Amino acid sequence: EKRLAWDQVLQNLDEAEAYGTSEGSSQLRQYAYSVIDTIDKVDRLDFQPGIVRGLPEGVTIKKIVVSVENELYLLNSQAGNVLRATYSDQGYVLDPVFNCGPIPAPLMVGPLIDIAVLPLGEPDGATVLGLDANGVLMRCVPGETNGPNVMPMAPPDINWGEPRAFSLDNGNIYVLDPKTNSVWVYWGIDEYKELPTYYFGNQVPSLQSVVDMMVSDGDLYLLHDNGQITFCIYSSYVDSPTRCEDPAEYADLRDGYSNGPVMQGTHFNEIQYAPQPDPSFYLFDPLDEAIYHMSLRLAFQRQYRPLYPLPGDPTTFAVGPNRRAFIATADQVYYAIMP
């Protein structure tokens, strides 16, 4: 057990350095950390402040999505609106005229609960899609004169409980509603006016503890508050209905680790799909400021952590299509280039 041996080295150093540190003990500590990083498959990233002049007052970023053009869309949980930031020589600059958030009557859009980036070249010019707690979609368009386009979706026949998150996959929208123990699928036809399909067959997992979700080609990954994942393969055939692994098993081949329904020593609260060329996903552990890269079969690949602890507690993360990692804190979004 190499990993345990190096943990023991650090423990012995802690005890020895209680009486004072030397150059030798500091060097040994640095070496021990680097060996443990190698065993744990950690890449250290050099995070820099991203937003020019930082985030404004009264903003808490609860989700980041990144467009293929390297624009940031930041969901502010305090007001339920979205900030847009574009990249410049100085860093990311907030767009002062981007309009994407709650709208009063008669249109009536509440605070947005989740957002997703839209593919390039949408006919209406929209770049980001938002959803409020009443199942109303908002398509937001950059540019001074452009307001958002509002699209109410037909509520499910049992009505909404409390939608918590949604995913956009191949033009279809999947909405997570833990209160009614539902995931609803709105097929991408006729502007989502049709009644949604209930995702599950006769095997329905418990969704009360689900904190985040992602969809990959119709397959569903549900992240629970204890770090477990429910994995479901969708089927529209009655004789072979949708089936779920609940919980699914993580594969972790690192020295000192083992496979199982949770990854040892982690506290995941967010999951993010990583599209082509390498379909996979990321999990975020805010306590360790760690981004875990996983295969679609839940096999651990690598993890990414800051070189130095970030100033402030992380609120959310993202990995952009061009290998940039982002972590938000109370007043800033930090970014780093991934190897």
In this structure, what are the phi and psi dihedrals at residue 6, rounded to the nearest 5 degrees?
Answer: -75, -35
Does residue 106 have a cis peptide bond before it, meaning omega lies within 30 degrees of 0?
yes
What are the domain boundaries of the chain? 1-40, 41-337
Name the pTM for this structure: 0.94
For CA atoms 324, 328, 334, 338, the dihedral sign is: negative
* CATH code assigned to 41-337: 2.120.10.30
Q: What CA–CA distance (Å, rounded) separates 85 from 87?
A: 7
What are the DSSP calls for 204-243, one per residue? Answer: ----TTEEEEEEETTEEEEEETTS-EEEEE----SSS--E
Distance CA 229, CA 279 (A): 17
pLDDT digit string (tens) for the chain, length 339 residues: 788 899 999 999 999 999 998 999 999 999 999 999 999 999 999 999 999 999 999 999 999 999 999 999 999 999 999 999 999 999 999 999 999 999 987 778 999 999 999 999 999 999 999 999 999 999 999 997 778 999 999 999 999 999 999 999 999 999 999 999 999 999 998 788 899 999 999 899 999 999 999 999 999 999 999 999 999 999 988 788 999 999 999 999 999 999 999 999 999 999 999 977 889 999 999 999 999 999 999 999 999 999 999 999 999 999 998 899 999 999 999 999 999
Pairing between β-strand 300-306 and β-strand 42-45 as defined by DSSP bridges: parallel
Burial class of residue 56 in the structure, from the number of CB atoms within 10 Å of its CB (0-12 exposed, 13-18 middle, 19+ buried): exposed
**CA–CA gap between residue 5 and residue 105 (Å, rounded):** 64
